[in-house]
């Protein structure tokens, strides 16, 4: 009901009387007043005049369904959003419900207190500064294809961020960099049987309006945000919807064609690693090698002292060394 009242106020430039809302929605004026007060508590600025009714003055900078949905063009992703002011980790929560929920459910939080990266690393997620969300999917794919969805996610985010006219690169397998610093990380996790993915959680973290002082000393050297790079305050609601729109386009296309090449091409063309030397960190060894390519299965092809090797995501950690 609250969302319906909000939609009525949004669609009008002038005051809407309590009587009109009451007629449209079939609820009492006292009930309307209660919902309006709730909206005000959530940060909506609503002017109320006894004679004229209610007028929406401004909406808060939050990533609730009501704020994102006006920009959504998806067929199913994000049609249901679970929104939290604060959560430990959207991926941890998404994983706990992923088996029994709708395909395309999105979990979004304004802040994560235990945001996670790969291999047990931490993802810093300060309140209202970024987009911290997880998409739950039930694709009809074998587990061996799961890493390709990270490629689809990275390429769709790349495409979305291109509009900011900044130097964006994709660092295989799961990071996006601007001017060499990390702006986005992707964490793909799944629940699977031998031949079948039961559910997949794609976690996306993007530093949007993060300022330098929001990063700790270590992150200041390696991380950045859209705000820092463009000098502008960015509309997180619109950007969240655009990311979901682009991701769904790519995802639906991939499920129907099973052809990853167009997305791999985006990753290759804009790779932060190809022709660079990287430090490869495996559980039992560390070495420096030159990245030659990303192959058609999405594996990283490296030249280790003349020996060509292929690396699957998940098994390595990479540090850029210097240009080769
Ligand atoms: P990753 O393991 O590639 O990157 C983690 C590393 O990135 C950290 O060790 C740290 O050095 C650096 N880092 C931490 N926080 C940030 C940040 N805000 N910006 C830039 N660099 C940072 C990347 O893992 C995958 C991250 C996924 C995050 C999303 S947010 C929504 C979802 N929920 C959740 O808990 N994780 C995902």
- Give the helix ranges, DSSP H, for the chain: 2-10, 18-25, 29-41, 65-68, 90-97, 146-161, 217-222, 226-230, 236-257, 261-269
Handedness of CA 195, 199, 201, 202 (dihedral sign): positive
Which two structure tokens, joined as six digits, stand for 275?
Answer: 């022709």
Give the distance (Å) from ligand 1 centre to CA of residue 299.
21
Of all helices (H) and strands (E), which one includes residue 131?
strand 130-137
Residue with tokens 């463009």: 230
Comparing C-alpha atoms, which of 233, 252, 232 is closest to residue 244? 252
pLDDT (mean) for 211-225: 95
Q: What is the pLDDT of residues 148-180, one digit of tens each?
A: 999 999 999 999 999 999 999 999 989 999 999
pLDDT for residue 317: 66
24 pLDDT above the threshold of 50:
yes
Ligand 1 mutation pick, 98, 117, 118, max ligand atoms within 8 A of CB: 117
- Among 117, 262, 92, 260, which Cα is nearest to 184's? 117
Q: Which of 185, 278, 319 is the pocket-test mutation for ligand 1 (most atoms within 8 Å of CB)? A: 185
DSSP per residue, 92-126: HHHHHHGGGS-TT-EEEES-BSS-B-GGG-B--B-
Per-residue pLDDT averaged across 77-100, rounded?
A: 97
Cα of 183 from ligand 1 centre, angstroms: 9
> What is the C-alpha separation between 115 and 62, in angstroms, rounded?
19
- Closest Cα to atom 14, ligand 1: which residue? 123
| Whether 123 contacts 185, CB under 8 Å | yes
Kindly report, residue by residue over 244-253, the tens digit of the pLDDT. 999 999 999 9
- Render pLDDT for 92-144 as a digit per residue (tens, 0 to 9): 999 999 999 999 999 999 999 999 999 889 999 999 999 999 999 999 999 99
Q: Is 48 a residue whose pLDDT tops 50?
A: yes
| Structure tokens that stand for 112 in this block | 């994560």
Q: Which helix (H) or strand (E) covers residue 290, if one does?
A: strand 286-294
Q: Answer whether residue 321 shows pLDDT above 80.
A: no
Q: Which residue has its alpha carbon closest to ligand 1 atom 4?
A: 117
Tell me which DSSP letter residue 271 carries: B
Pairing state between β 106-109 and 81-84? parallel
Q: What is the 3-state secondary structure (H, E, C) of 193-250?
A: CCCCEEEEEEEEEEECCCCHHHCCHHHHHHECCHHHHHCCCCCHHHHHHHHHHHHHHH
Residue 203, pLDDT > 70, answer yes
Q: Which two tokens stand for residue 46?
A: 């609503």
Sorted by sequence, the CB contacts under 8 Å of residue 20 that are 6+ apart come out as: 53
Angle at 289 between CA 286 and CA 291, to 5 degrees: 130
Q: Which residue has the higher pLDDT, 164 or 314?
A: 164
Residue 81, SS3 per DSSP: strand
Residue 323 predicted with pLDDT over 80: no
Assembly ipTM: 0.99
Q: How far is the CA of 19 from the centre of ligand 1 (A)?
A: 49
Which residues form ligand 1's pocket by a CB distance below 6 Å? 89-91, 112, 115-119, 121-125, 132-134, 174-175, 182, 185-187, 203-205, 207, 219, 223
The residue whose two tokens read 């939290």 is 84
Show the tokens assigned to 157. 């985010």
- Report which of 197, 189, 183 is spatially closest to residue 91, judged by C-alpha positions: 189
Cβ pair 152, 170 in contact under 8 A: no
């Amino acid at each position: 009901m609250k969302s319906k009242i909000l939609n009525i106020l949004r669609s009008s430039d002038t005051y809407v009387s309590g009587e009109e809302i009451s007629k449209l929605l079939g609820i009492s004026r006292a009930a309307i007043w209660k919902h309006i007060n709730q909206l005000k508590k959530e940060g909506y600025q609503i002017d109320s005049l006894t004679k004229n009714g209610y007028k929406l003055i401004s909406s808060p900078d939050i990533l609730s369904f009501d704020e994102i949905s006006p920009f959504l063009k998806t067929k199913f992703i994000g049609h249901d959003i679970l929104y939290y002011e604060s959560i430990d980790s959207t991926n941890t929560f998404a994983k706990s419900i992923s088996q029994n929920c709708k395909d395309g459910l999105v979990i979004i939080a304004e802040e994560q207190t235990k945001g996670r990266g790969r291999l047990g690393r931490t993802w810093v997620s300060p309140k209202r500064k970024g987009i911290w969300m997880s998409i739950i999917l039930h694709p009809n794919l074998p587990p061996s294809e799961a890493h390709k969805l990270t490629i689809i996610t990275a390429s769709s985010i790349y495409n979305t961020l291109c509009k900011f006219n900044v130097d964006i690169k994709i660092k295989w397998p799961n990071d996006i960099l601007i001017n060499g610093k990390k702006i986005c990380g992707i964490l793909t996790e799944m629940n699977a049987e031998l031949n079948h993915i039961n559910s997949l959680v794609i976690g996306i973290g993007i530093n949007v309006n993060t300022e330098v002082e929001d990063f700790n000393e270590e992150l200041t050297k390696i991380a950045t945000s859209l705000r820092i790079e463009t000098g502008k305050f960015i509309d997180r609601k619109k950007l969240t919807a655009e990311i979901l729109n682009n991701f769904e386009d790519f995802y639906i296309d991939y499920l129907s064609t099973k052809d990853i090449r167009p997305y791999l091409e985006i990753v290759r063309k804009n790779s932060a690693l190809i022709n660079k030397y990287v430090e490869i960190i495996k559980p039992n060894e560390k070495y420096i090698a030159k990245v030659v390519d990303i192959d058609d299965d999405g594996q990283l092809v490296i030249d280790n002292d003349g020996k060509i090797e292929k690396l699957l995501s998940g098994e390595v950690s990479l540090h850029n060394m210097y240009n080769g």
